Amino acid sequence: MKPVWKRLYDWVDERVELGGLVEFLGKKYVPVHRHSIWYYFGGVSLFLFIIQVTTGILLLLYYKSGEELAFESVQFITSKVQFGWLIRSVHSWAANLFILAAFIHMFSVYFTRAYRKPREITWITGMLMFFLGLFFGFSGYLLPWNELAFFATKVGTDIAGAIPIIGKPVMIFLRGGEDVTGATLSRMFGFHIAILPGIFSVCLGIHLLLVQRQGMSEPEESGKDMKTMPFFPNFLLRDLLLWLLVMNVLAILAVIFPWELGHKADAFASAPAGIKPEWYFLFMFQMLKYIPAKILSIDGEVLGILVFSAAGLLWTLVPFWDRETKRGTRGRFLTYVGIAAVVCIISLTIVGWLS
Amino acid sequence: MTSEVGPTGPKENRRDFLKYFLGGGVVAWLGAVLYPILAFLIPPKQGEVEVTSVKAGKLGEIEKESGTIVRFGNKPVILIRNSSGECVAFSATCTHLDCTVQYRKDLGVIWCACHNGRYDLKGQNISGPPPRPLDEYRVIIQGEDVLISKKV
Amino acid sequence: MAVVRHRFLHFVLWVIVTSVSSLASLALAQDQCRTCHEGLGDTPSALFKKDIHAEMGLSCADCHGGNPKTEDMEEAMNKAAGYIGVPKGDGISEVCAKCHSSASIMVKKFNSVLPRNQAELLSASVHGKLSTTGREAIVPCTKCHGAHGIVTKTNPASPVNALNLPKTCAKCHSAAGYMRTYNPALPIDQLDKYRTSVHGKRNASGDIKAAECANCHGSHGILSAKDVRSSVYPTNIPATCAACHSNAEYMRGYGIPSDQLEKFTKSVHGISLLEKKDLGAPACNDCHGNHGATPPGVESISKVCGTCHALNADLFSKSPHKKAFDQRKLPECESCHGHHDILVATDELLGVSANAVCSWCHGKKPESKAYLAAKRMREAIDSLGNSERAATMLVQEAERMGTEIGEAKFKLREVRQARLESRTMVHSFDDEQLQEVVEKGFKSAAAISDGARLAMEDYHFRRRGLGVATLIITVLAVSLYIYIRRLERKQAKS
């Protein structure tokens, strides 16, 4: 008598022919080298995303959008619903860890030039998911409708409004009107729970499919006799191990440092001192502060936003203009650019955090 | 530990031990994850964020010419049944300094013990320090049940 | 030389006097209206002789129309030529306004300093509303000023002279039948009350500085007391009274202070009324009376304050203090709380400490019954306040931890209520009664603390839960780690 799980496998196999898939997975190998550690951050991002989806759906059962109820319903979740405090805290913490993991994943791919042919599409979908993740954070931040979120959203959409020509319509689109109101809340709620997850899932599907299909990218300098490890089960088990550790960290953070709810937003109150965006926007926010008000009769803020947009676009399109890697030479230029970006982001974030 | 293992060798034994740990660990982990989630799914006592209506009791149990304090979310509401049997409800928070008001059958008014504020049975402030009338609530009688809800 | 100049001056004076008097007699001779009517001996023309308008050289025709230059009656009172006879209805005030609202006539011709907006104010006032006939305003100018024989306000004969005005207003305002047709709810005893007031008594004895009707209500532009623009609208009353009472110069000689408004503005009543615009708060008249304005007598203070602070007054009247205060002629509430400058009563007032009011009388004998009672009462109130604070903090802490605390939070109201009741109960000056109320508060506070502690158990449950979960995850992770190592060792061998 075969064990139950084996019989179940057979039952499914007869119908959908799992054999090919298993064979594919069995032949899949992950290169082992001194940069292998970075391979895990994609998995960590994925794990955190799964947590976000799960806790997000749970929160949706009690959350009520709308000016009068949003704050109260979050308060209700954290005080009245069993483990509501935990689910909300996990959702908030995992969001931040997700952005962090995505940052690390993105830079590791950049520095190892893993975006090069044939993985341009993987890079593009990854970048798209990164921007979606930031937008997830931005829209989710407003949903508890507390004071900090209200003013951070006001400032954030104001910055978007400073872009020449398209700025104003973009701002009105984001706010659902001229000002941050209940309409903005409904809109952000819509983005956060329907539009963004929809687009994100498509990108994620393509991204994962390509990763599996094309396998892990090998470093440029690797020779033919690269050490490898089977994806299944070795790499997968290591992935799982790391996920468990991340989960542990997440649980500790969520319980010991529960996410504060603050005070309910009041559109007519004066902005509290020291309004800051979420930490992952802090470097841009800080940078905008340093740019002089006028540069050659162009508004400093506008210029800053344009520079950021251009940089983001160039970064996203790096597989297409990176000549060095295409020629097969290990160029230094892009590495310096990357290091400059990392140093810049980290130092500005720290300065922004402390100021 | 190795001294205790049998002839099958320490490795096999340890392997089994590990299997139990892994299996048990996965089960315990599932429990640790699913327990909060399932508990979260159980609707809390107060079903909704904002209390919109509460049941104040059975009509038969409320005497004529009486006033009872009913908890409405975090606020008290006074339900008054007058001599002709009609029910009215008002916020029981005195508009002067937030004390809880009561029905005084002998005076025929709603009365605040703190500073002798008085309201008539329509909730209008008629004497003493209260600056405003009491807020009115809606009383709905469904069969035998008396429900109090916010005025829309 | 000096004599010559003297003579010359005499001559000039003579020329001026004769020419002016001859001009005047010429004008008089020309006013045929008065010539005839005075001959007839009718009252209007007789009264008009003393009228200020006559002194200013106005003729009958200036109000009544017609031609005063002709002796022919037909011609003089020809309606076609502009004769209007006795003005009727709104026509009366219009005739007055023709000159009194016109700068060119009043200033240029008569060099007058009278305000020229009187007609305008009158028609916007309560008196300018339509009368019961629906054809004219209720009060025309003549109702108060008379028609013929009008003299200046300062003339004791004027009906609007300070000493006569109360009677003039009362002509209508004390006429029950008449007032009922306009405002049945309005009292008609203002004059009677006024005569009992300090203002009214002084007015009756000829003091024109004492306030009469117009000083508070205005004259031409009188508005209903319910009109927010009215000088006697509750929030405007303090300023209206202060117009005289805060004027130290004006009040000199009356022997009363002039800082009442200043004190009142800072008082709990003044802040409520003037800053918070709470119309329930008393203005000057709520304690002093309005038409019968007089400082309340020593023994009636608790009744006056008791119109709002009923429970406190009741308790006080039943307390042993009532008799003691009356015997010593001490003003009741005022002795402890002050009057114009009443501040929010703090717990500091109670007890035997330096700034407690009890110690003013009872502070000297530390072993006396009263001293000990005051001390105990203060302690009771203080400790109730402390347990309320403690309970509130517990609830807040439990709430911050995100635990369910609704029931305890609801009960917090009871403690607050007991504290407020106990502050009122102090006025019984009975230690035992106070303890009863305070005890009620303690019980609720204890229940809250229990509830909050129970809720905080939940917090510790979380920490324990986390401990268990972390342990499980760690064990699983370690086992997985060992498993991977084992697996890879096996793979390496094969």
Structure tokens given for A44: 């960590």
Q: Using CB atoms, pick whichever of C399, C466, C487 lies closest to residue A251.
A: C466
Query: Could you tell me if residue B29 is inside a domain?
Result: yes
Q: How many helices (H) and strands (E) does chain C have?
A: 28, 0
User: What pLDDT sits at residue A120?
Assistant: 93
Integer Cα distance of A282 and A100 in angstroms: 13
Integer Cα distance of A129 and A202 in angstroms: 10
User: What pLDDT sits at residue C24?
Assistant: 47
For chain A, the domains span 4-279
Interval A140-187: pLDDT, tens: 999 999 888 899 899 889 888 888 888 899 999 999 998 999 999 999
Task: Tell if the CB–CB gap between A73 and B49 is shorter than 8 Å.
Answer: yes
Residue C204 makes CB contacts below 8 A (sequence gap 6+) with: C195
Q: Which domain holds residue B6?
A: 2-41
Determine the 3-state secondary structure of C310 from DSSP: helix
User: What pLDDT sits at residue C15?
Assistant: 56
Task: Tell if the CB–CB gap between A248 and C481 is shorter than 8 Å.
Answer: no
Residues B68 and B17 in one domain: no
> Which strand (E) or helix (H) includes residue B147?
strand B145-150
Interface residue B66 vs chain C (CB under 8 A): no
Structure tokens given for C349: 């007032």
Residues B132 and B63 in one domain: yes
Domain spanning A4-279, CATH architecture: Up-down Bundle (1.20)
- Kindly list the residues from chain B whose CB atom is less than 8 angstroms away from the CB atom of residue C406: 46, 73-74
Structure tokens given for C462: 């979380």
For the four alpha carbons of B52, B58, B64 and B66, in that order, the dihedral sign comes to: negative
- Is the separation of the CB atoms in C260 and C245 below 8 Å? yes
Return the residue of A nearest to C477 by Cα.
Answer: A241
Residues B110 and B130 in one domain: yes
User: What pLDDT sits at residue C22?
Assistant: 47
User: What pLDDT sits at residue A266?
Assistant: 82
Query: Could you tell me if residue B95 is inside a domain?
Result: yes
Residues B91 and B128 in one domain: yes
Distance from CA of C408 to the nearest CA of A (A): 14
Interface residue B124 vs chain C (CB under 8 A): no
Q: Which amino acid appears at position C254 of this protein?
A: Y
Interval C346-365: pLDDT, tens: 888 898 888 888 888 888 88
Weakly modelled stretches of chain B, pLDDT under 70: 1-15, 46-50, 152
Task: Tell if the CB–CB gap between A233 and C487 is shorter than 8 Å.
Answer: yes
CA nearest C469: which of B34, A54, A46?
B34
Query: Could you tell me if residue B118 is inside a domain?
Result: yes
- Kindly list the residues from chain C whose CB atom is less than 8 angstroms away from the CB atom of residue B15: 486
Q: Between the CA atoms of C11, C17, C20 and C21, what dihedral angle is there, to the nearest 10 degrees? A: -130
Weakly modelled stretches of chain C, pLDDT under 50: 1, 21-28
Task: Tell if the CB–CB gap between B40 and A64 is shorter than 8 Å.
Answer: no
Integer Cα distance of C116 and C128 in angstroms: 17
Number of Cβ within a 10 Å radius of residue C42? 13
- Kindly list the residues from chain A whose CB atom is less than 8 angstroms away from the CB atom of residue C487: 233-234, 237
> Which strand (E) or helix (H) includes residue C283?
none
Task: Tell if the CB–CB gap between C421 and B99 is shorter than 8 Å.
Answer: yes
- Kindly list the residues from chain B whose CB atom is less than 8 angstroms away from the CB atom of residue C416: 98-99
Interface residue A262 vs chain C (CB under 8 A): no
Interface residue C260 vs chain A (CB under 8 A): no
Q: Which chains touch C (3 or more CB pairs under 8 A)?
A: A, B
Beta strands in chain A (DSSP E): 29-32, 227-230, 294-295, 298-299
Interval C461-481: pLDDT, tens: 888 999 999 999 999 999 999
Query: Could you tell me if residue B47 is inside a domain?
Result: no
Determine the 3-state secondary structure of C239 from DSSP: helix
Q: What are phi and psi of A34, to 5 degrees?
A: -75, -15
Interface subset of B 40-59, CB within 8 angstroms of A: 40-42, 44-46, 48-50
Residues B93 and B20 in one domain: no
Residues B115 and B68 in one domain: yes
Weakly modelled stretches of chain A, pLDDT under 50: none
CA nearest C199: which of C287, C283, C292?
C292
Q: Helix, strand, coil: what percent of chain A each, to 5?
A: 70, 5, 25
Interval C285-325: pLDDT, tens: 998 988 988 887 777 888 888 888 888 888 998 998 988 88
For chain C, the domains span 1-29, 348-455
CA nearest C139: which of C148, C128, C124?
C128
Q: What are phi and psi of B149, to 5 degrees?
A: -140, 165
Residues B58 and B37 in one domain: no
Residues B102 and B136 in one domain: yes
- Is the separation of the CB atoms in C476 and C450 below 8 Å? no
Residues B135 and B110 in one domain: yes
User: What pLDDT sits at residue C9?
Assistant: 64
CA distances from A200 to A87, A143, A239 (A): 22, 19, 22
- Is the separation of the CB atoms in C483 and B22 below 8 Å? yes
Distance from CA of A70 to the nearest CA of B (A): 9
- Kindly list the residues from chain C whose CB atom is less than 8 angstroms away from the CB atom of residue A253: none
Residues B67 and B141 in one domain: yes
3-state SS of C410-461 is HHHHHHHHHHHHHHHHHHHCCHHHHHHHHHHHHHHHHHHHHHHHHHHHHHHH
Task: Tell if the CB–CB gap between B115 and C314 is shorter than 8 Å.
Answer: no
User: What pLDDT sits at residue A222?
Assistant: 58
Task: Tell if the CB–CB gap between A87 and B45 is shorter than 8 Å.
Answer: no
Q: What are phi and psi of A298, to 5 degrees?
A: -105, 140
- Is the separation of the CB atoms in A313 and A110 below 8 Å? no
Alpha helices in C31-155 (DSSP H): 32-40, 43-48, 52-55, 60-64, 73-76, 90-100, 103, 118-124, 141-145
- Is the separation of the CB atoms in A217 and A119 below 8 Å? yes
Residue A117 makes CB contacts below 8 A (sequence gap 6+) with: A319, A326
- Kindly list the residues from chain C whose CB atom is less than 8 angstroms away from the CB atom of residue B114: 311, 417, 420-421, 424
Integer Cα distance of A302 and C370 in angstroms: 77
Pairs of residues, one from chain B and one from chain C, whose beta carbons lie less than 8 Å apart: 74
CATH number for B78:
2.102.10.10
Determine the 3-state secondary structure of A264 from DSSP: strand
Distance from CA of B74 to the nearest CA of A (A): 13
